[in-house]
């Protein structure tokens, strides 16, 4: 039985983690997540994505039983696979929302950090507890977390390994919104649907410009933005959008995603 599923409805693809009891990240889940992320990226009927671990837990971290006996060589391959898989999730060229219920610890939080937006349940508890095991985050926690909440806050969380509750996560910018646990998935779907009828190629370009631009110097990032902007003038949506603006005013274009 698959431990990661892709469920599609009304233009939104849900990447559903389903490895009882706590969605611990192991080699099997990593392989299936990689395949599903690639599928979600290429399917035209998916215009936005929700990452979801179910009603009880998002993902409680890596499978320690699988990791503990590994030596350096074995862990090198395991960690590389996980990091590359998370990068594929982060690179999905569509708006991605993480719907976080219960625990998102270690690799679970690192997966949530790959999303563009994070909707937290009011019962969410998140953190990077790797330091308590004598290691450090190895799938983006020391990189994506400081880019989101700042280096000082990230260091405090990584150095201490402590868990953060939903309200604090909202205050430090780790969560974008906090809702009752029973509403977190529906809220993520509602927000994702805002982009289903949008200009898919322009949304993909905007995501790439922001994400890649943050890793560049300003001059190089501006050149990236300029190239992506100019390239969109070869799309059908640019023609539709500008013709609609001239005829009907802003916000009324019927985009096709091409």
Does residue 87 carry a catalytic annotation?
Answer: no
Of 107, 127, 198, 257, the active-site residue reads: 107
Of 37, 40, 62, 202, the active-site residue reads: 62
Nearest to 49 by CA among 13, 86, 87: 13
Kindly tell me the burial class for residue 162, based on how many C-beta atoms sit within 10 Å of its own C-beta (0-12, 13-18, 19 or more).
middle
Q: Strand, coil or helix: what is 58?
A: coil
Does residue 107 carry a catalytic annotation?
Answer: yes
Return d(Cα 185, Cα 230) in angstroms, integer.
36
Does residue 90 carry a catalytic annotation?
Answer: no
Which tokens in the block code for residue 64?
């320690």
Return d(Cα 17, Cα 23) in angstroms, integer.
6
Kindly list the distances between the CA atom of residue 120 and the CA atoms of 21, 127, 168, 195, in Å, as whole numbers in the listed order. 20, 13, 11, 20
Nearest to 210 by CA among 111, 109, 99, 91: 91
The distance in angstroms from the start CA to the end CA of the chain is 36
Of 13, 40, 108, 130, the active-site residue reads: 130
Does residue 168 carry a catalytic annotation?
Answer: no
Of 24, 99, 110, 253, the active-site residue reads: 110
Torsion of the alpha carbons at 165, 87, 135 and 79, rounded to the nearest 10: 140
| Angle, alpha carbons 1-26-96 (nearest 5°) | 80
Residues taking part in catalysis: 62, 107, 110, 130
């Amino acid at each position: 039985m698959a431990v990661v599923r892709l469920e599609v409805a009304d233009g939104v693809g849900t990447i559903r983690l389903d490895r009882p009891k706590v969605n611990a990240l192991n080699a099997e889940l990593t392989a299936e997540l990689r395949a599903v992320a690639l599928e979600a990226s290429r399917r035209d009927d998916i215009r936005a994505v929700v990452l979801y671990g179910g009603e009880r837990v998002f993902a409680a971290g890596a499978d320690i039983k699988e990791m503990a006996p590994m030596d350096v060589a074995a862990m090198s391959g395991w960690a590389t696979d996980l990091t590359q898989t998370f990068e594929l999730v982060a690179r999905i060229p569509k708006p991605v929302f993480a719907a976080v219920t219960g625990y998102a610890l270690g690799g679970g939080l690192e997966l949530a950090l790959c999303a563009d937006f994070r909707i937290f349940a009011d019962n969410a508890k998140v953190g990077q507890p790797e330091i308590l095991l004598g290691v450090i985050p190895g799938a983006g926690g020391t990189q994506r977390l400081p880019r989101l909440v700042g280096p000082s806050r990230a260091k405090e969380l990584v150095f201490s390994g402590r868990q953060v509750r939903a309200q604090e996560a909202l205050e430090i910018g780790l969560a974008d919104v906090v809702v009752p646990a029973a509403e977190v998935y529906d809220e993520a779907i509602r927000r994702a649907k805002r982009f289903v009828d949008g200009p898919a190629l322009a949304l993909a370009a905007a995501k790439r410009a922001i994400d890649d631009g943050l890793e560049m110097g300003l001059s190089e990032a501006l050149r990236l933005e300029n190239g992506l902007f100019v390239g969109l003038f070869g799309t059908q949506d640019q023609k539709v959008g500008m013709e609609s603006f001239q005829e009907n005013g802003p916000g009324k274009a019927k985009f096709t995603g091409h």
